[in-house]
Amino acid sequence: MRGIELRQLRYFSILAKELHFGRAAELAFVTQPALSQQIAKLEETVGTPLFVRDARQVKLTASGQALRDGVEKALAQIEQAMKLARDANGDKHYEVSVGLVEYTNLPFVPPSLIRLQALYPDVKVHRHEMNAALQFEALAKRQIDVGLGVPVSPIPSDGSLNCRPLLTSGWALVMRDNDRLASLERLRVEDLASERLIICARAVNAPLHDAVVGHCRTAGFVPNFVYETMQAQVGVTLVQQGLGLMLGATYIFADLPAGLTYRMVDGLDTLVVHMFWRSEEANPLVLDFTELVVEEAKRVQLRLAPSDPQPNGA
């Protein structure tokens, strides 16, 4: 075991699943050269190649497959040992409070919670409906442990909060496959002028709602909002039924029903989802959750349209 580092095993596990150095480096939050260097060191320690690399693909060798199975079990055992160590302290009361707007349908939240539950089977998650501006106050008052949202007001600069950009997204317009706009590769704000639009209710996020209206007015028209909804899925259903076209963040529409599609809309402000938590946070449960959220958000970002830029620091 001399020379083997835990991070090497973690990098190996990610690469063994992805079989792509670029994606694995993104998910491991390291550069591709750094990942390659650590894998090479691991192969040197093991004494045999673990991957076969060529210009087209990456494959596990027989030794790599054997190590993959053992490493997955070892990492799971380490996680279990950490949990037992915490339980031995006598505190098995696991709760985390999260502030977010349910409408945003953040796709990285469910897998993060599933992984958190695997680490803490007895965990209880409390969700509080609030936008980023309210989350700052709730964190200060210890009403929530983690906030997730698009900040529309200045982030506190007194060092009391950690702030991590997670997901950058453009705007998209959802429509039926046979809609006339579906023939276009991308849309402009002006293309919305004659359309019946479905959008999130202003109460969900008033500044973002007002910003969309402002961009439409600048383009020379008043948007025709035929329905404002508090639930994203309701809006999607109304598109299916022919009420109108739905405008929203790309990540909201990660899984559209058959018969629907979307087109990116240029000319609207880029949305950057952030995570907030207290700088002095020491609860392992909360810190584990923030790490899981960062990892799962990165996976979602890699699946989004290539035109959506990466958030700084993510």
Burial class (CB in 10 A: 0-12, 13-18, 19+), 56: exposed
Do 251 and 222 share a structural domain?
yes
pLDDT in the model for residue 61? 93
CATH code of 70's domain: 1.10.10.10
Residue 312 falls within a domain, yes or no? Answer: no
Do 180 and 158 share a structural domain?
no
Residue 1 falls within a domain, yes or no? Answer: no
Can you tell me the distance from the alpha carbon of 20 to that of 14, in angstroms, rounded to the nearest whole number? 9
How many structural domains does the chain have? 3
Residue 26 falls within a domain, yes or no? Answer: yes
CATH code of 280's domain: 3.40.190.10
**What global pTM score does this model have?**
0.70
Do 278 and 217 share a structural domain?
no
pLDDT in the model for residue 248? 94
* Those residues with Cβ within 8 angstroms of residue 25's Cβ, 6 or more apart along the chain or in another chain: 31, 32, 34, 35
Reported as a single tens digit per residue, the pLDDT across 165-202 is: 999 999 999 999 999 999 999 999 999 999 999 999 99
pLDDT in the model for residue 308? 46
Do 137 and 11 share a structural domain?
no
Reported as a single tens digit per residue, the pLDDT across 236-262 is: 999 999 999 999 998 888 789 999 999
pLDDT in the model for residue 287? 93
Do 82 and 121 share a structural domain?
no
Give yes or no for a contact between 60 and 16, defined as CB atoms under 8 angstroms apart: yes
Residues in the chain: 314
Do 59 and 36 share a structural domain?
yes
Of the three residues 63, 87, 111, the one that is the final residue of a domain is 87
Do 182 and 257 share a structural domain?
yes
Do 264 and 176 share a structural domain?
yes
Do 20 and 135 share a structural domain?
no
Residue 207 falls within a domain, yes or no? Answer: yes
Give yes or no for a contact between 76 and 101, defined as CB atoms under 8 angstroms apart: no
Does 60 score more than 90 pLDDT?
yes
pLDDT in the model for residue 69? 86
Reported as a single tens digit per residue, the pLDDT across 93-129 is: 689 999 998 888 898 999 999 888 877 878 899 999 9
Reported as a single tens digit per residue, the pLDDT across 219-238 is: 999 999 999 999 899 999 99
Reported as a single tens digit per residue, the pLDDT across 120-172 is: 878 899 999 988 889 999 999 999 999 999 987 788 888 899 999 999 999 99
Does 305 score more than 60 pLDDT?
no
Between the ranges 62-71, 200-209, 241-250, where is the mean pLDDT highest?
241-250
Residue 310 falls within a domain, yes or no? Answer: no
Can you tell me the distance from the alpha carbon of 159 to that of 249, in angstroms, rounded to the nearest whole number? 30
Do 230 and 156 share a structural domain?
no
CA distances, 123 to each of 89, 110, 112, 150 (Å): 16, 14, 13, 26
Can you tell me the distance from the alpha carbon of 303 to that of 162, in angstroms, rounded to the nearest whole number? 26
Residue 308 falls within a domain, yes or no? Answer: no
Do 83 and 151 share a structural domain?
no
Q: CA 284, 286, 287, 291: dihedral to nearest 10 degrees?
A: 130
Give yes or no for a contact between 173 and 268, defined as CB atoms under 8 angstroms apart: no
Do 15 and 81 share a structural domain?
yes
Of the three residues 87, 115, 139, the one that is the final residue of a domain is 87
> How high is the mean pLDDT of the chain?
88
* Those residues with Cβ within 8 angstroms of residue 256's Cβ, 6 or more apart along the chain or in another chain: 174, 236, 262
pLDDT in the model for residue 313? 41
pLDDT in the model for residue 1? 57
Domain holding 102, by residue range, is 95-167+274-303
DSSP state of 56: S
Residue 311 falls within a domain, yes or no? Answer: no
